[in-house]
Each structure stands twice: as C-alpha cells, then as structure tokens.
Amino acid sequence: MAATLMILGLVAVVGGIVVFAWSSRLVATMLLAFGALAVVTGWLLPDVARADALRTGGLAAGSVVALYALWLNDRRRRVDEERQLLEHERQQLESARANHERERAADDRFLRAVELLGHDADQVRVGALHALAGLARSHPSYTQDVLDVICSYLRRPFEHPEYREARGDDSDQALDRAEADRWRVVRLTAQRLLADLLPKVGTPNAPAYDLDLTGATLEYCDLSHRVIGQLRARVLKLYQSNSLHHCEIHGPAWFTESTSWGRLWLHHMEFHDLAVFSRVRVLGKAGFESTVFHGETRFDNATFEGRVSFADTTFERDPNLSSAKFRSVAPPPPGWVVRGQSLVRPTS
C-alpha cells in the first residue's frame, strides 16, 4: 500500500507540474497537494502509525496550498502595483494636458489683450490693461511680460495741453483737450496697474521685476514702497508729482537726461547698484532724504531748479555731485556744503 501511495503521489506531482506550466494553476495545486499527501504518507507508513503518517502528509499538502496562496497574493499585489502605476501615469498625462490647455488659454488671453491695447476706444484699452493685470495675478510667470507691455504702452508718444503749459510751449499745433483727457485716463490706469503688480517692500522672497520706461511720459506716477530690479528711466518726461520714495532698487538705475516739470520724490529709497542721474533736469522740488546709495552714483551735469533736500542721505561712494547745478539745497548731503549753485566737499 505504501508503494502504491508513493507511485500515485509521484504521478500526481508530475501531473501537477505539467498542469501548472501549461494550464490551470488551481488544478495543478490540487494535484501537487494530493501528490505531496500521498508521497509523504506512503514514505512514512512502514515506520510510523497510519494516523501520524496521514497527519504529516496533510501538513505537506497544506504547505503546498499555502505556497499557492502566497504566490496568488504576490501576483495580485504585482497586478495592483501595475494598475496603480498605470493610473499614476494616466493622471500625469491628464495633468500635463490640462496644464498645456491652461498655458495655451493664457497665451491666447495675453495676445488678445495686447492686440486690444491698440483699439480706437479708450474703454477697450482700459479693459485690455486690466485683463493683462489679471493674467499676471493668476499666472505669476507672465508678470514680467505684462510689466514690459505696460511699460511699452507708457513709452508711446503722448501730449496734453497741460504738458505744453508746464513746458511753456506756445506751439500752434492744436490739441483736442477732451480727447487728450480720455487717453490720459488710460495712461493713469496703466501707471496704477504697474504699481499694483510690483511687490511691496518687505514682502518675503519678493521677486525684483525689471522696468524699462525709457522715453515714457508720466504724470502722478506713484511707484513708492515697491521692489524693483533694473530700472531704465532715461529721457523721462515727468509732470505734476511723481514718486519712487521708499523703493528698493536692486539692479542698475538710469535716470539719464530725464526732465521733471513738477515734484520728484526719491526719499527713503535704497539703491543697491549703480544709480545714474546724469543730465537730469528737475524744475520743481526734489527730495532725497534718508536715501541710501550703496553703489556708484553719478550726478554729472544734473540741474535742479527747485528746492532739493539731501537730509540724512548716505552715499557709500563718491556721487560726483560737484558737476551738478542747484538753485536751492536745504540741507546738503552730510559732509557737503553749498557754494553758489554747486555742492562741494570741504578740504581739511
């Protein structure tokens, strides 16, 4: 009987192996379990009691079933992992597709708003400026581009009867005051949005955006308490009152050949890099109180026809103020004295 059981068991084991390789795993497991039961029981019968032999054979058969269960669980785990990986890849593709659609929509909004800035109606231009500002707020990556567009708009030639009066220009060329007022409203909106998009001083990790206002015409432009990177303000035409006070300028700043027919407030500023005021002309008041110039500073051939204050101004390098002309300085920078229309350093 023992030999018969062992022969049947071996046949079942061989059959289970063949079936496992080519057919149903469940049937193969049943054959292998029966084979293990028969082989172990037949092998033990001559030496141990039948009950003990059957018990040991049952344990062998149970071990085969347990191994099949472990294999089945491992396979299920791998299938689940593959499913999760495929789901993750699908979500990434959907996210990338959604981001692409959002970027394309943002590009379309940007291009459409820029196009509308050339519209014949002032209300449409105001709406385009607000659309650009909204795009910059919702997509910070567009902020520098939007600032560049607004600066470009402010650089467009613009004239107003009040500007002529401020310059003492008696030109015979007629200007429609009502029309000039309408377009001035658009420009004032652009200036306000320019300030709104710049980060305020004290903002943690505030980016320093660059401004290029070369040749721009500004009136009541208030960029105070803002962080600016590089500032190009050459050949500015400034009217009424314009303010940059309490600003931090981290890059070079050029005010070369700019003219102010009003008040210019540059007090409590901090220039971290080059600051150039060469050939600047200010007809109204100017204030540099408590401003700190860390880098090279130049006032070559600058002219200040109104009252200028340098109270508590700090120059970490020689500002070359001696070539500038001043009508009224009260007080001069620390360490400087007024002689005629010039500022000089007393020799010890």
Model pLDDT for residues 55-79, shown as the tens digit of each residue: 766 676 667 667 777 777 878 888 8
Backbone angles phi, psi at 145, to 5 degrees: -65, -45
pLDDT score of 16: 60
CB atoms closer than 10 angstroms to residue 164: 14
Q: Which helix (H) or strand (E) holds 34?
A: helix 25-44
What are the pLDDT digits (tens) for 114-153?
999 999 999 999 999 999 999 999 989 999 999 999 999 9
String of b and e for 48-87 (b: at least 16 CB within 10 Å)? Answer: eeeeebbebbeebbeebeeebeeeeeeeeeeeeeeeeeee
pLDDT score of 86: 85
Q: Is the pLDDT of residue 34 over 70?
A: no
pLDDT score of 234: 97
Mapping DSSP to helix (H, G, I), strand (E, B) and coil, where does residue 263 land?
strand
Q: Which two tokens stand for residue 140?
A: 């910070």
| Maximum distance among all Cα pairs of the chain, rounded to whole angstroms | 132
pLDDT score of 264: 97
